[in-house]
A and B are shown apart, each in its own frame.
Chain A
C-alpha cells in the first residue's frame, strides 16, 4: 500500500512554493517547479522587481496552464468593453478587476508595479481586502485583452464573469453611512458640550437664562441635520414596515427619536426646559456606529453567486455556423458572448473549459467532468451526437459542439428558476430581536398611555404628557438593539478569524436554531485532490512502478493524476515509446519493440472487471500482455470526521448524507452517520433540494454543508447553507457562509458559539431592562431630572457595548481555543 504524496526530497519552488516532485528546473541557483514559474521569475528579474520575493516566502502563483492565446479576445469587443470599463476618455482607460489569486503583500507590490512590466500601463492601485486592482492603461499602447494576458502570465488571472458583463451596474461603495456617522458624531459631541452647563445647573439670573437660550438654539441647529439626514434611514425603514402592517425593529427607534426631538423643540420653544437633544444625537450616533460595525463583512467574498458567475463570458464560435441572414458574417473561429449563442451555433470547447449551454457533440468523443453539477467525481464519456448538458467540463482535447438551447434555457439554469427558491426569501424576517421587540414596543406604549390616562384623570395633563414622552425616550430599545448589533458584529469577526465566513448577522441566529445537519460527500467530506491508492495484485517491481508513473503523467484524467502523484517517489522511465491515450478507456505504451503496457479500464485491457468494480474506482494494469492487478482508488476523508459527527450526534442533531455519487464506502459512512438509512446516494441536484424541503416540512431546521454547484439548490433552500472550500478564493455556490475545509471538524463548536451569541444578546437585554426599569420608575412619577436621564442614556449604551464585546470574546476563547 503506498500513501499519496510521499516525496523524499522536500524542494519548494522558489516562485510559488509548491513541492517540486522530480522535475526540478534550476535557474539562477533557485529551484522552480515548472517552466511557467521560471518564466515569471525571469520577467521579474529582467525588470528588477525581485523584491517581490523579499516580502513573503514563495509568494508567487503558478501561472494557469489552461491559458491559450486569444482567450481574452472578447475583451476587445465593444459590447463587452462598455460593461467592464469604468472610465475612458479615448486614451486613458480605467478598469477595476477582481484578481482572486491575490493573497499577500508581495502580490500588492507586483501589481502596483505593473507599469514597469509594460509601458502601456500608466498606474495600478490595489484594494487588498476586495482583491481588486484598478489599472489605468493607455489604450494606444496596450489593449485590454493584452492587459488580461499580462496579468494571467504573471499568475494573477483576472476574473471576469458573465455577471459582470450582463449584470446590473455594481453598487457604489456605501459611503453615505460614513457621512451620516460623521455628522451624527459631530453633532453629538457638540450638543453634549452645550449641555454641560445645564447638567451642572445654571443659576436663576437673567444672564444665565440668556446663556441657556443660546446653548439651546445652538443645539437645535446641530440636531437638525442629525434628525433629517443621519436618522433618515430609521424613519424610512419604520414607515415601510408600518405600511406593511407590522412593527419592525426600527419602528420604536424612530418613534423615540421623533418624540425626543419634538419634546425638546417644545421645551426649548416654551423655555420650559432644555430638551434631550444630547440623548437624541447620541442614540443616532451609537446606532449608526453599531450597524456600520455589523455590516462590515468580507468584501472579497461573494455569497450570492449564481450560475452566471461560473460561466465563461465568451466562447469560440466556429466558422461553419449555420449562418442566418441577419447574423454578422463569421470569419474563422471568432469569440462570441455566450448570451448571444443561438441554437444551431457550433462552438469549440478546449480542455477544462466549461460548457455554457445544452449542446450536441459533433466531435468523435468527449470526456465530460460533471463534478461541478452532479458531484460525481469521475468523468463521463460521451460519443458523437450525444446531448451534453450545460455545466460539464471537457477533460482532454478540444471538442466541437452544436448548441441546442440558449444559455438561459439550459438544464442548469432551470435549477435556479425553481419556485421554492424564490419564495423562501420573505419568510425569514422574524428573528429573535424582532420578536422581543414586538412585545416590548406594545408594553412600552401601553405603559405610556396608562400613565397619560392616570395623570389626565388626576387633572394634571401636562404632567401626563411629560410622563409618556419620558417613558418613550427612556424605554427606547436602543440598548437591546445595540447589544444585538454589537454582539453580531463581534461574532462575525470571531467566526471570520476562525476561517468561517458568514454572509450576515441573520445567519448566526439561524445557525443557533438548527437541529438537522445534511452533508454532501464529494469535496465536502472527502478531500478534493487526494486519494488513497493501493495496488491489488502482484506487488509491482521498481521498474513497473516507474512505468506506471511515467504513463499516467502523460494523461490529464483525474485518476491518472492521482496515480502519478502516489508514485511520485519513483524515477521517470525514459525508454517508453509509442505512447497512446484512448480517451475514456486507458493508456498504452511500448517498452522496446513489442512489449506493450496498458493501463485503464477492464474493457480496455480485455479482461473481466473485479467484483467490486462498481464501488470504487479501479485502474487495471497489464505488463506485456500479462495482467498484474489493479490500482484501487479510495476517496480520502477529511481528518477528525468521526469526532465531528459523534459530537453532532451527542447533541442530538440528526445527520444525513446526500451524495450525487454512486454508493461507495457504505460501511464506513453508515458507521459515521449511525445507520445506512441516513445515507442517500445518486441524488440529483433537484433531489437534494426536495430532500431539504421535506425535512423542513416536518418542521426541522436544516443546516446544509456542501461544496459544488450540485448542492446550490439545497444550500439556498436550507435554513443555513454552508459551502466548504479549501481555498476561499475559489468560487463557491450561493450560500450563507463559507467554511474553510480544514475547519470542518469545528462545525459543532461553531453551532455552539452561535448559541452562545444568542445567550449574550438575551443577557444584555436583561441588563438593559434593568436600566429601563430604573429609568421608568423615575419617569412614571414624572420626576426624572434631565441630568440623570442624560447620564443614564450613554452609560447604559456604553456598558452594554462593553458587556457584549467582552462576553463574545470570552465565549469564542472558551469554545474554539479549547478545540484546537
Chain B
C-alpha cells in the first residue's frame, strides 16, 4: 500500500517535471516559430567555409 503511494507520487513527479519543462519551453518562445530552426541548422557556423565559386 505505502509502496503504491510512493510509486504514484514518483510517477506524478516525473510527469510533472515534463509538464514544467513544457511550460518552460513555451515561455522561452520555443513554440512561437516551429519552422525557422529547421533551416538554421543547415548553416555553417564559421566564416571561412564559403567561397564565391559554388
Contacts and interface: CB of A to CB of B under 8 A. Distances in A.
Given A53-B54, A190-B12, A210-B1, A128 B26 contact: no
A61 B23 CA distance: 39
A762 interface: no
Q: How large is the interface on A (under 10, 10 to 19, 20 to 34, 35 or more residues)?
A: 20 to 34
B32 A173 contact: yes
A179 B23 contact: yes
A183 B23 CA distance: 9
A211 B7 CA distance: 13
Contacts of B11: 190, 193
> Helix, strand, loop or mixed for chain B's interface?
helix
B54 A108 contact: no
Contacts of A214: 4-5, 8
A127 B40 contact: no
Interface string B16-54: 101100110011010111111001101110011111101
Given A189-B15, A190-B15, A218-B12, A108 B40 contact: yes
Contact of B33 (A53, A54, A55, A127): A127
B1 to A, nearest CB: 6
B27 A112 contact: no
B15 A50 contact: no
Given A178-B31, A182-B19, A112 B40 contact: yes
Q: How large is the interface on B (under 10, 10 to 19, 20 to 34, 35 or more residues)?
A: 20 to 34
A214 to B, nearest CB: 7
A50 B51 contact: yes
Interface string A146-189: 00000000000000000000000000010100110011001001
B39 A116 contact: no
A50 B8 contact: no
A428 interface: no
A588 to B, nearest CB: 45
Contacts of B4: 211, 214
Given A127-B33, A218-B8, A183 B39 contact: no
Contacts of B47: 48, 116
Contacts of B52: 28, 45, 50
Nearest to A130: B33
Which of B1, B11, B39 is most buried by chain A, counting CB atoms within 10 A of its CB?
Answer: B39
B1 A55 contact: no
Given A130-B33, A218-B12, A175 B27 contact: yes
Given A50-B52, A127-B32, A173-B32, A108 B39 contact: yes
A51 B50 contact: yes
B31 A128 contact: no
B26 A207 contact: no
Contacts of A784: none
B43 A112 contact: yes
A126 interface: yes
A360 B16 CA distance: 68
A663 interface: no
Contacts of B22: 182
Nearest to A28: B52
A186 B19 contact: yes
A189 to B, nearest CB: 7
B14 to A, nearest CB: 11
Contact of B35 (A49, A112, A129, A175): A129
A55 B8 CA distance: 51
Which of A50, A127, A128 is most buried by chain B, counting CB atoms within 10 A of its CB?
Answer: A128
A179 B39 contact: no
A51 B44 contact: yes
A108 B32 CA distance: 16
B27 to A, nearest CB: 7
Given A186-B19, A207-B1, A218-B12, A178 B26 contact: yes
A105 B39 contact: yes
A780 to B, nearest CB: 37
A54 B11 CA distance: 49
Interface string A23-67: 000001000000000000000010011110111000000000000
19 contacts: A49-B50, A50-B52, A51-B43, A51-B44, A53-B54, A108-B39, A126-B36, A127-B36, A128-B33, A128-B36, A128-B39, A129-B35, A130-B33, A179-B23, A179-B26, A182-B22, A182-B23, A210-B1, A218-B12
Interface of A: 28, 45, 48-51, 53-55, 105, 108-109, 112, 116, 126-130, 173, 175, 178-179, 182-183, 186, 189-190, 193, 207, 210-211, 214, 218
Instruction: Give 5 nearest A-B pairs by CB, closest first.
Output: A51-B50, A128-B36, A105-B39, A127-B33, A186-B19
